[in-house]
Amino acid sequence: MKSIVMFCMPQRGHFQRLQPIISGLVRRGSNVVVMTSSAFKDVVESSGAAFIDLFATCSIERIDQDSLPVAVRFVSFAGFCAEKIIEEAGKLRPCLIVYDTFAYIGYVVARALDLPYVNVCAGHNLKPQDAAKIYDRLDGGSIAPVCYRSINILQDKFNIDAHPFAFLSTVSPHLNIYCEPKMFLRKEDRAAFEPIMFFGSIADERVVTPPEDDSNPYFSGSPNGETGIFVSFGTIVWRYFAEEAFTVLKTLSRSVSRVSDSTAVISLGGHQLSAYQLTRLNRRNVRVSNYVDQWKILGQASVFITHHGLNSTHEAIYHRVPMISYPFFADQPALAGRCQELELAVPLAASKESSVAACALEKAMAEIAEKRSRLSAALETAREWECEVIAGRPAILDRINDLCR
């Protein structure tokens, strides 16, 4: 039996978006093999797909430890590891390659084996022509010599026109799956991703799973109705903007005490702060956690202060939680702007470069209160978009299977 071979780099948020595709194809009887990080092995196998450790014999860390942004290292990995991985994938008798955009190796394998391929778009409106420009906000970004050597291999041995930001330039002529409802991508921007189908980013399983026991809520509640403020800048932001993120969180922590009857939970997305830094954030009505169950806490929060990562944004919409925007880089500013246009969010500051004033949170909360009815109506409509895009997934899975025949 021929296989649909899928590729994902070791980024949990990107793998999360592939999960409903993996499980959906398996339910349709497809033989699915997923080549990714061992961190996702149990999830892959529990879905009924076969797992192969993409990095068992060829690791990113051994090849490129220096290129920034880190995703550039995925191009280095592709050049130096392509031969082994192409051979391994070829033994699986693949009929189709499916890859997250950042998994550049999937694109290389498909081209080398002359197979149709499906690109699962990463981020919001990351058009290939903007590949390098969107990372301009990363001070100190640098491309290691090993990446250029990898590019030479890809060009000379595989006839692929590679470049350091090629991980964002792998739009497929066969099918591109976009991980948002179509209303978030303007019509004039869709041409860059054609042929395109809209899949969303929320896992089906989360929607159908009954609510968890809320006997230990994140927000304690109060007789007068507490405002639960959830704050998270995700995981990747800390890699590049740790000092700035911490500075903003300090301001927000001080500000929460001035917001009437409010409690805040700050999630660090797995990032470790020093004991001294934690003392600067923890307060009577502010709790800092290294990690929270984001799906659960959004089900309890009144407001979400967010960097506008793709998964975070759409999970907040599904839970009808108004957002306060503080984007950092890449696709985040554009998604924040789109959410503000759709009246799903209000800004914390004029831009990332603007310092966050002590009164910024109070002003943002006042704007949310003033626009409450419009925000609620817009969130309800946007939640319907999320449900509609999930309901439309069977047709997309059928289209993927058709490419395999």
Which CATH code, of 3.40.47.10, 3.20.20.140, 3.40.50.720, 3.40.50.2000, is assigned to 214-370? 3.40.50.2000
pLDDT of 232 higher than 70: yes
What confidence category does residue 203 fall into, taking pLDDT thresholds of 50, 70 and 90?
confident
Is residue 20 within 8 Å of 393, Cβ to Cβ?
Answer: yes
pLDDT at residue 223 in the model: 43
**Fold agreement (3-201+390-403, 214-370):** yes
* Average pLDDT of the chain to the nearest whole number: 91
Query: What is the mean predicted confidence (pLDDT) over 6-23?
Result: 95
pLDDT at residue 214 in the model: 59
What confidence category does residue 139 fall into, taking pLDDT thresholds of 50, 70 and 90?
low
3-state secondary structure of 90: helix
Is residue 235 within 8 Å of 13, Cβ to Cβ?
Answer: yes
**59-64, long-range: CB < 8 A, 24+ apart:** 60/9, 60/10, 63/146, 63/150, 64/144, 64/146, 64/147, 64/150
Query: What is the mean predicted confidence (pLDDT) over 113-133?
Result: 89
Query: What is the mean predicted confidence (pLDDT) over 369-373?
Result: 95
3-state secondary structure of 34: strand
The owner of tokens 């054609």 is 194
Domain boundaries, the chain: 3-201+390-403, 214-370
Is residue 343 within 8 Å of 325, Cβ to Cβ?
Answer: no
Is residue 103 within 8 Å of 8, Cβ to Cβ?
Answer: yes
Query: What is the mean predicted confidence (pLDDT) over 134-144?
Result: 69
What confidence category does residue 33 fall into, taking pLDDT thresholds of 50, 70 and 90?
very high
Q: How far is the C-alpha of 314 from the C-alpha of 308, rounded, in Å? A: 9
Query: What is the mean predicted confidence (pLDDT) over 106-120?
Result: 98
Q: How far is the C-alpha of 117 from the C-alpha of 110, rounded, in Å? A: 6
What confidence category does residue 208 fall into, taking pLDDT thresholds of 50, 70 and 90?
low
Which class would CATH give 3-201+390-403? alpha beta
pLDDT of 210 higher than 60: no
pLDDT of 265 higher than 50: yes
| pTM given for the model | 0.93
Neighbours of 148 (CB within 10 A): 16
pLDDT at residue 141 in the model: 66
Query: What is the mean predicted confidence (pLDDT) over 107-121?
Result: 98
Query: What is the mean predicted confidence (pLDDT) over 363-379?
Result: 96
pLDDT at residue 50 in the model: 98
Query: What is the mean predicted confidence (pLDDT) over 99-121?
Result: 97
pLDDT in tens, 65-98: 999 889 999 999 999 999 999 999 999 999 999 9
* Nearest alpha carbon to residue 18 among 204, 259, 256: 204
Q: How far is the C-alpha of 98 from the C-alpha of 117, rounded, in Å? A: 6
Residue 250: is it exposed, middle or buried by C-beta count within 10 angstroms (0-12/13-18/19+)? middle
What confidence category does residue 217 fall into, taking pLDDT thresholds of 50, 70 and 90?
confident
What confidence category does residue 204 fall into, taking pLDDT thresholds of 50, 70 and 90?
confident
Percent residues over pLDDT 90 in the chain: 81
pLDDT at residue 140 in the model: 53
Pick the range with the lowest mean pLDDT from 193-202, 211-220, 344-353.
211-220
